[in-house]
Structure 1
């Protein structure tokens, strides 16, 4: 290299730094130009990239091959070029190549009508589009964002190709791209994330395009179901970036998706997927989209007719849980549409809905005829119908007058205040406080009349007045004033009345036998709690706050037996309040007994009084009569008319076993604290009380049939025999459970006894050992020979306990024993050694004069650690 080349290659400055070529000073005196060196070190330079390197492919040549007039007829070369693209991008398509790839797809799509050879290559390229797009750099997601969005939109535009295979593949590609996470691709480029893919789909117009493509698929059910499946996924996951972009549901609504889907609900579909998927998409549009837009799209008689036909079809033809769920979805969608649509009443009016609802506004019957609603079902339907009429009648006054609504309401009101007895069931929200009376019907009837009168329509007001509504309402008011409701009485009782009752419930039980009338006062207080407090949540909560439940159970524990029935009944009704159960479970008696133990003891007393067949432990002895008492058994079975109760039914009211069973149903049968084995034995009978009582009633029925020489038909006889056998088997199971409990208790008692005797033996053994140890100690300290023998035995015992018996023969053995020591007590591991300080000849200090007042210097103490 010559001098000029060397000067050009490098130059050293005065500080010793080397300047690269092209950076030499312009003049010797001018300033130095410092170059900007950008050190870009890629992963490829460091050789840390994993996977195969994706070489670039010249797609422009492929496009030119497809579009050039001289080569556009070379179909074989076109197919080979497309297959080469599929093989090259089998790991995924880079984002920077998407424009050219979709340009190739569009060229092939335009030629699909004339040449079918492009079909399979297009399908293969669409399969590659299902994979996450590849990025060389992290910034590619932002750089090619608009390109990715337009590419996703192009997938929807390809639905114009009249090929079932391509359309199916487009649907599969969209589902995989939108739902599946990034897979591990053996290539150096990084795949896009699932969240990025979903965001790109949200920003594209693929949802709107797919909805519009349904018009091309009316006669192709398979492809239509595939498209609906894609729309189902897009609408379900809608709102990924709702704050920034229009979501999928809004795009679908722009294409009138609700109307398009609803118009084709009842198209022939053997699989049933068309109705299910369409309803699911409409549901998602209502949930994530604009309800008013959905309602406006469905606000036409054609769509409503389709919803009605679908609902009727599911009502009449559906039999599975899936069909019932779809039926409920149809009903909810119709309700939401009617709620959001201001023109909904025209649908209700043309469908004669008010006439159907007014068919329930009539007097309730005590018994239902075959193949009709039961009494409880009709009552619930009636209350629901009147609740709906309260909202619809003010909007549909003409239909109200056509159905003679005023006459129907006044007749129902007359029945409500009439003398006819009716026991309402009080089911559902609308039947609150209506159990055993007609209050729920009267309340809804008056509410419906109020809603109609509030319209101030002169025709309706005149109609009600002419039919005597004023006189009838005055009669209702006079009845209400003369006889107030029990709940209102309880509310008027108030907290002051509860305070008075609590003070009387604290009466000492010892005063009951004083003859001064304390027992009457206490009975009146308990009865007042039952009548004036129970049933009103306000006073019930205040009674619980004042520990009224604790006082009642205290009285139950201490009071005479003739008061138990009243107290148990009051507690049982009070347990309808869920808060009472915790108070019952936390109560403790005089000896720490619990409420569960107390009620089990009362059950045993009741059975002992009626003479039930039990052994000394309270277990069942006769499985054929597990509940029958001695008096009931002596009376036997007597054939009675149907209006007279039998012995098994009378037994329920003659003792407290039914109330105790109901009480345990409130507090539970498991995990009860403070129960003994006898209580558990009793609890097994209490838990099966209802089953045993049912079996007892069936036994009486069969005996009465035998006494009357009535032979039931074969199915009834087999049913009664099966019931009897089942009850007897259940009694045997209970008896076996009781035997297991008692056997476990006996085994536990034996174990406790053995442990007790073992403890006694151990105490005696320790006492004997202390005596023998003291005798051996006395012998050692009194005789040197015995001491040596004890020491020898100790050393032999220590040697025998060592791992290496020949440890004394090793070269580095250190004996730690003192041979002159005559003790059998083990020495400690620390030895105290006292040594005077050592002073050399040259360092000998002068001796100080002796001063007796000074203390002598302390000797230094060293501690030496010895290992035995």
Structure 2
């Protein structure tokens, strides 16, 4: 491959080979050559050097295979070009940078004679990456301390090399490129390109390289001070749009550095200054740094304000920054941004605000989001600012009349789902309240309750429940946060549970009636219903007043329905809630009365859960559900996989951990309240499972003793004789218990087999009787058909019928007895034929038809005819004759 320039300067193609063409030749430059090397000096003085560098900026090829055949030659040539940056010749160095930049120029439709074409941009980029030019250029910066123009060309080339190549970024970072680039940012440069191109290179390294490596290289005091100087210079002295954009870019890089815990942002004093700027213009400060600083409230200033708020959230990872927050009154500044009505005053023109209404709304939402991280770290300042009052007022503002007509713009990341209303503000306000209530700070929670937060939150959920519109993910998140907040406020306090009251119970019951199919909608119904169950546990259970109201509204039935229809991950909370509710004596009657659509009882449901739980944790059972391993009746698959090792006394063993990791302990406690005998609706399989459940505590105690014995053997400790005898007795007792349960299960299986055999015989007898009845029916029908087709058979049937009738009569007749025949003589049929009894009903002209009033006891026929008419009743009128005609 040769370039266009070479094609112009070489003779016409001859019939000789490719090696006979005229091409410029220069000595090979190696990577380890020093600046004063003779070969390097010779290359510097070679007359063909500028020409070669010019050739490399526009490579061409004659056929497609040339790219593959000459890839190695081109790669070596590019490497040589990078090594030539050590040549102390400004023209050569600038030509090298220009050639590199030209290699990354887009493909141009050029046509050359003799079938020559340009190489593709992808091919050129790939060869540049192989040559390692990026690393070589970066290393050459150390040789250009006093050559500003060449250094700018090198930075421009590095900017292009790192723009879209992860390989070049990796090469730059391998040579500590981020740190070296940062050191050159603040060098004197009248054009301002030094800082701009250095910032762009750092941006490219963050986008295309390893972000962790970049922040690690920049997380030192020297780099932080360079960034600090550059940022403050453009913040205080930059008024152009370009300066403000560059200032924001530096702030983003600083924020990414702040994510590294080892970055000395606080030690350098840069963090304190940034936090101080974050409180402007909400708070005034007498600090000399910002005394004369006046924000212009442009879009770039607005972006800087959002970046500073985000930086506060990032700095919260370092607890040392909390003291800076307190000194700079960050909590007060955030609460001033959050307060309701500030955007409305701007919108109504009553007060002149610094930001537009759209910007104010976005800052309000971001401040609420930032408070969710900052406020838990500054609880005293939170109370000092009366933040609870401010948040409840904001929540009331979100729900007051006209909230739906609020023209929320829904701008930014935090405004999603809140366009055209105040739902976004409500969402982040309730999220903050949830975070603060979950801290279990008695002062914060008591202050919320004193200000009526419980009734206000219940009223908010009722508003959502009474709406007929389709729920979205934001609405479900809001309701979930309300329920979690109520649970945190009422937990462990009977008085607050009493304040929860009938409205709260009604609200919780409505959530428990959620369609089970919605649990899998993906919008958050599963979290909402689970929060409702937790709300029942924290806000209802433990107070007899609310418990009775909950039971009256069939709350126990709803919990059992939820346990049956919910996935396994939700059973733990629901079953624990129902178990706590069973402390109320009235609950057991509800549990015993519960039935599902298939008449499944609560004990049968719990035993089904037990079997599913054992199948999930890998317990060995046979086909009938009986104990398969008598030495390990409760041991799970995960316990068997645990290696046997000695554990400290204050660390729970696997057998103890197993109690809290599955539902078996809760199901056992449930049956301790229901009892283990005379339970309705149990099958043989349920009875087998129940025998294991009833012995759960004995089996678990034996399992713990087995672990103790195994640990003693592992440590080589031999118990004293009385202890050894006690352990031996415990082991024998547990073995006897397992054998007893196994025999009981075997008897249940045998009884089930006998019942199945009896039912099978009974079913066979029914089949036999049905078959015989079908045969008799068929014979009867055949006889009936024969009578209709054969007169002789009809006569025989008639004779047989008469004999049968005659034999059924009394033989002895009383004196004066007169016989009246009921049959008509000389009939040739086997039917019973005789006199007919006919009853004539009253004519319709007298009754008036079926729609007339037929209270015959109070009516009589008028003389002139027509329908019956009501008249006053008398004793004589009530005796009406009934006429029956017999023919």
Please classify the TM superposition score into its range, dividing by the shorter chain length.
0.3 to 0.5
Length-normalised TM-score, structure 1: 0.38
TM-score normalised by the chain length of structure 2 = 0.37
